[in-house]
Structure 1
Amino acid sequence: MKSLIFLDVETTGLSSKRDRIIEIYMLKVAYEGDVEEYHTFINPERQIPGFITNLTGITNADVADAPTESQIAKNIRDFIGDGVLVAHNLSFDRRFLAAMFERNHCQPLPSGGIDTLGISMRLFPKLCIYPKGEGSHKLKNLMYHFHLDRDFANSHRAKDDVLLLVQVYRHLEKYAKGQLPYTYPRAMTHGCPRCGSAMQLIESGGKRELVCVKGSGCSERLVV
């Protein structure tokens, strides 16, 4: 059995051609249970935009003495080996890694991988938007849905995102295998029973209600 490589990258922007990885954290989990971690900052050889620093907390000073991608790409590729990549919105991380490996003449990534975002969307087509969840299928919203450790709620750093990703993956796996019951009202995972839109959890005065996000177009409210 191949190892699972849970990973997350922080970047200078959204374009894998123009932008660069500035931080990567990977957790390799072998079938036998052995765990290895890999973390590094990467000097992008360009300025980190202010909005990225505001989002991640990573500054130009943090990466000033870090290795450049030409110095570190082979080490990253060797760590991945033939493992199975696991990420939330895997296509984003794959694009940046693939571009870096191509620029530095490294072996291409293994094909395939596991995208927890896609799994969540298939299992829970209209996942409820929780308080401060910021979108129905984001990692943070899944954290609220599964009642996971909220220490990661305000983090946008690679390591914290990966540690949360591992917990989310384990819960999704149990749901997919039928090992966890669907104990939530169906509206929390499949949307408003009247119009099919996602619903938002509203907590006020000790009462919890699911409110259709369609707003004026649908007045459905369910007490949970």
Structure 2
Amino acid sequence: MQLNLKNPLVFFDLETTGIDIVKDRIVEISFMKVYPNGKEESKTRRINPGMPIPAESTAIHGISDDDVKDCPTFKEIAKSLATQIEGCDLAGYNSNRFDIPMLAEEFLRADVDIDFSKRKFIDVQTIFHKMEQRTLAAAYKFYCDKTLENAHTAEADTMATYEVLKAQLDRYPDLENDMSYLSKFSSFTNNVDFAGRIVYNDKGEEVINFGKYKGRLVIDVLETDPGYYGWIMNGDFPLNTKRVLTEIKLRGFNSK
């Protein structure tokens, strides 16, 4: 089934030095850009993370320090990459929980201002888990009747994710071929920040989602505990979380 798109949809996958979005870095990004008219463009880039790649990470994706020593840093390609995905919705496998938060952090570290708030995020893994409860390789075999070769390479995983989503739409008549619907369907949370440290409650209000203030309104915590903001800003939290908290804080000032 061809995708029913209003905006270009970028399927992407990251290979990284690890799974900590604050401390780890991207070593490879692969994406396929699908246009509303069905045109497809794909690209894969190796990236110098500016830090050693742990052996356990190399064992998974096969990328070593030597492989990326002469590659550009993310900061060097950030503006070009932001231009390529401008106005596009984003799709991936486990992307809502990892790839999108990691990508957002890298853009912030590179001082490239890219607004993800207006994008739709399609997480093919979430759709798969809601429907079948399997891994990407099993999803590829189940939906496409193919064996996933070169698993854990960004390009192979990106292509497989794209094929799986189209096959899911073919298999499940109840799934609407609409990116707004799929974005909502493939979301488990009501995150305000990508890491889920701040979420929306059932009234659409921002609340803290961890620690001693879990469940408390952010604006109330900032009001009653002035030191909380500084603790977050000086702590080991994602840049995206810090930005969201700052926006809420400034909004509170402007409303007074």
Query: What is the TM-score with the length of structure 2 in the denominator?
Result: 0.62
The yes-or-no answer on 1:17 pairing with 2:22 is yes
Answer yes or no: is 1:114 the counterpart of 2:111.
no
**Which residue, out of 99, 106, 131, partners 2:105?**
99
Match in the other structure for 2:37: 32
CA drift at 1:177: 2.8
Q: What is the distance in 2 between the residues matched to 1:32 and 1:175?
A: 22
Report the equivalent of 2:53: 48
Q: Relative to structure 2, which stretch is displaced further, 101-110 or 76-85?
A: 101-110
Aligned-pair distance for 1:147?
Answer: 4.3
Please identify which structure carries the higher strand content: 1
Cα-to-partner distance string for 1:47-83 (whole Å, 9 max, x where unaligned): 1000111111111111010001110111111111111
Shift of 1:178: 5.0
Q: Hey, what's the Cα distance between the residues in 1 that align with 2:20 and 2:174?
A: 38
SS of aligned partner of 2:23: coil
Identity in percent: 31
- Change in Cα spacing, 1:57 to 1:72, as seen in structure 2 (3 Å) is same
How far does the alpha carbon of each residue in 1:172-215 deviate from its partner, in whole angstroms, 9 at most, with x for none? 12233359xxxxxxxxxxxxxxxxxxxxxxxxxxxxxxxxxxxx
Partners of 2:138 and 2:35 in 1: how far apart?
A: 28
- Tell me whether 1:83 sits opposite 2:79 in the alignment: no
Q: Distance in 1 between matches of 2:168 and 2:105?
A: 29
CA RMSD in angstroms comes to 1.6
Number of corresponding residues = 167
Residue 2 (str. 1) matches residue 10 (str. 2): no
Map 1:1-224 → 2, pairs under 5 A: 1-91=6-96, 92-111=98-117, 112-122=120-130, 124=131, 127=132, 136-150=133-147, 152-178=148-174
Structure 1 partner of 2:219:
none
Counterpart CA distance in 2 for 1:139 and 1:153 is: 12
Deviation of residue 108 (structure 1)? 2.5
How far did 1:88 drift?
0.8
Q: Is the 8 A contact 2:144 2:163 kept in 1?
A: no
1:89: how far off?
Answer: 0.8
Query: In 1, distance between residues paired with 2:37 and 2:128?
Result: 26
Distance 2:102 2:79 in 1: 14
**8 Å CA contact 2:53, 2:65 repeated in 1:** yes
Deviation at 1:46, TM superposition (A): 1.0
C-alpha separation in 2, matches of 1:171 and 1:142: 10
Q: Which amino acid aligns with 1:141?
A: A
* Letter of the 2:161 counterpart: L
In 2, distance between residues paired with 1:109 and 1:88? 21
1:119: Cα distance to partner? 1.2
Q: Which has the higher helix share?
A: 2
Matched to 1:113, the amino acid is F
The amino acid of 1:71's aligned partner reads E
Which residue pairs with 2:217 in the alignment?
none
Q: Gapped runs of 5+ residues in structure 1? A: 128-135, 180-224
Gapped regions of structure 2 (runs ≥ 5): 1-5, 176-256
Q: 1:17 & 1:51 partners in 2: Cα distance?
A: 18
Q: Is the CA contact 2:13–2:158 (under 8 Å) kept in the aligned structure 1?
A: yes
Displacement of 1:141 after TM fit? 1.2
Q: How has the CA–CA distance of structure 1 residues 147 and 70 changed in structure 2, closer, same or farther, with 3 Å as cutoff?
A: closer
